[in-house]
Chain A
């Protein structure tokens, strides 16, 4: 399998704070990688650097060997990288359907955009809210909308920042199925998630971060047992099951 994304010594400093510290890893095409770490570990900042929404202080990010750093954000999207925001960013006054039509239009999609947008909404289980203004959605539905909008860019690499936060158990189940389907269709995934149990059902590899640095990277069970991960992130409940 060929390498899709490479982070090469990515560092991001905010004044004296090093939010992301010399992070190096690569993701193969078709892989599903979980990214975990305590609050403030630097996961979102790393996401921003990987998707062109933030510029690393140093280091490089490459997609299929080509640096993303000098690329405009929409070009990054065009080259197949989509992301969701941890703090959802809907277009609040636009109906749900129109929210999903924007990436379709931007991507130059041909054909009936409404039908296609409806199809994307259906994939995340939001079709029944198509006509509602997104400002009227629940937190869970907003998360799904966020996902639908990313999917509508037809990404090859999808970065999800806490897709399950604020969702009910049932909603997590639905979204998990969607994510699994994406994998089956060949989409490469990087998922930040605090709900470890649900995350581990989706990924075959976990990268753990602490204070900006990668402290473990590998097969999920091994990473979860890694002493550094246990102390840094999971504390005493390392081996217990997550609570929804």
Chain B
């Protein structure tokens, strides 16, 4: 006799069945107004800050925003932690530099496309064998690819310049698209006369500043649309439990490889643009230091949120390239202490706020009460960098 059924039936509550999408809708996305504020502030900043050294460093930081955000869509979202993101960045940068050196007739825009293509191809080539790797093995594999590329630059020393790198790369000023964007926005923000009155080098700084900003906003905006949309949810589910994702019908290989290729392509674009901003490429763009710095930035800002690593990049890179040098001579004399300082900073941040600095902050700014706070874990999965 198992007829407990009748008595049980009233226990079936169907409250909320009508669907209450609005609070959940908010959970899945950060407040867009807050996100819009950032690019607008950055756009008009040069009107109020005429310190060109600082503006130049902000432009560099903006490039790093792209490095970190492109790392995040793979590692923060799917949990395939890439310890060799510099491989994609360097591939993009060297593609642009080599084209500039050997095929100077190729336009800057086309060179950037080539950078994207080369990095994406590398992403596919690395991504396939990495599909089966996890944790430390994946870390080693990605790390060694970047290492192998460094070796490659030595093997082709005549072409790549080895340790010296390649100088004289065509810059953003030489590219018609980048120059148009840069000049246009410079004139919009500074006024046409002011901009024309600047010296050549200052003009280049402003053009760099605005070009990097536009590329960054497009890239980060695109990655956020993806990350906070349906596909981003699927990527997160993969990070949480691959088997469960497959049981839910997720084509695992397609998503994991797709994330690899997209991450690589974006890094390649950012690397290529960096080459056009600096006018040089060198081994620092393939180095382990760069890969590690990106992971530090992402974890510090909040992996798995795109916006976290993006803001983290501004904080860390401006500290590294600008503020620390002005704080004490120690860092000027021993720049190698910086990455250690950041690692320490990261440990402290992660102890206090394991999800990184940005996601909890955004949640508060978006006015989410404590009731929905916990569920906001969707917005960001702070343990994104779990090995």
Contact with B along A27-62 (1 / 0, CB 8 A): 000000000000000000000000101000000000
Contact A102 B11 (CB under 8 A): no
Query: Which residue in chain B gives the minimum CB-CB distance to A97?
Result: B24
A93 contacts B by Cβ under 8 Å: yes
Given contacts A114-B25, A125-B14, contact A169 B4 (CB under 8 A): yes
B377 contacts A by Cβ under 8 Å: yes
Contact B8 A172 (CB under 8 A): yes
A170 contacts B by Cβ under 8 Å: yes
A68 contacts B by Cβ under 8 Å: no
CB distance from B17 to the nearest CB of A (A): 4
Contact A128 B13 (CB under 8 A): yes
Give which listed residue, A72, A93, A112, A131, contacts B381 with CB less than 8 A: A93
- A97 proximity list for chain B (CB < 8 A): 24
Contact with B along A132-174 (1 / 0, CB 8 A): 1100100000000000011011000000000000000111111
- Other than A91-B241, A114-B19, give 7 A-B pairs with Cβ distance below 8 A: A91-B236, A93-B378, A95-B377, A102-B237, A125-B13, A131-B375, A201-B2
- B17 proximity list for chain A (CB < 8 A): 118-119, 122, 127
A: contact size bracket: 35 or more
User: Which positions 251-287 of chain B face chain A at CB distance < 8 Å?
Assistant: 251-253
- Return 11 A-B CB contacts under 8 Å, by A number: A90-B240, A90-B244, A103-B248, A112-B21, A149-B248, A152-B248, A153-B249, A169-B4, A171-B8, A197-B1, A201-B2
Best-surrounded residue of B16, B241, B247 (most CB of chain A within 10 A) = B247
Contact B24 A95 (CB under 8 A): yes
Q: Is the interface of A mostly helix, strand, loop or mixed?
A: helix
B334 contacts A by Cβ under 8 Å: no
B: contact size bracket: 35 or more
- A105 proximity list for chain B (CB < 8 A): 230-231, 233-234
CB distance from B9 to the nearest CB of A (A): 6
- B247 proximity list for chain A (CB < 8 A): 51, 53, 73, 77, 82-85, 89, 149-150
Give which listed residue, A128, A133, A176, A198, contacts B374 with CB less than 8 A: A133
Given contacts A94-B377, A241-B1, contact A127 B8 (CB under 8 A): no
B55 contacts A by Cβ under 8 Å: no
A101 contacts B by Cβ under 8 Å: yes
Given contacts A74-B250, A89-B244, A127-B15, contact A169 B27 (CB under 8 A): no
Contact A78 B8 (CB under 8 A): no
CB distance from B1 to the nearest CB of A (A): 6
Given contacts A107-B249, A172-B8, contact A114 B243 (CB under 8 A): no
Contact B249 A106 (CB under 8 A): yes
A204 contacts B by Cβ under 8 Å: no
CB distance from A204 to the nearest CB of B (A): 16
B132 contacts A by Cβ under 8 Å: no
Q: Give the CA-CA distance A114 to B233 in the complex, in Å.
A: 13
Give which listed residue, A93, A107, A170, contacts B11 with CB less than 8 A: A170
A222 contacts B by Cβ under 8 Å: no
Contact B252 A74 (CB under 8 A): yes
A228 contacts B by Cβ under 8 Å: no
Contact B240 A119 (CB under 8 A): no
